[in-house]
Amino acid sequence: MGAFPRAGRAQTLASIRRMKHIEKNLKATAIIQHDPRDIGKLPAFPGAAKEAGQA
């Protein structure tokens, strides 16, 4: 077994349920960094941030 053992199906589903519960209670949006479907959930950078990067 490696340094990061895989969780079983039951543990994975329980973890997903916990995260969805937290997300709902906090009125948050979870972003999964490796899921392309979540990229659209991120806000676009404001123009000022783009300009500051060019200075």
Cα 23 to Cα 17: distance, rounded to the nearest angstrom: 10
- Give pLDDT, residue 52: 57
- To the question of pTM greater than 0.85 for the whole model, the response is no
In the chain, % helix, strand, coil (3-state, to 5) comes to 55, 0, 45
- Give pLDDT, residue 46: 75
Segment-wise mean pLDDT, segments of 10 residues, the chain, 55 residues: 76 92 94 84 69 56
Closest-CA residue to 15 (of 1, 3, 39, 32): 32
| Inter-CA distances, 12 with 6, 7, 18, 27, 49, Å | 9, 6, 10, 22, 38
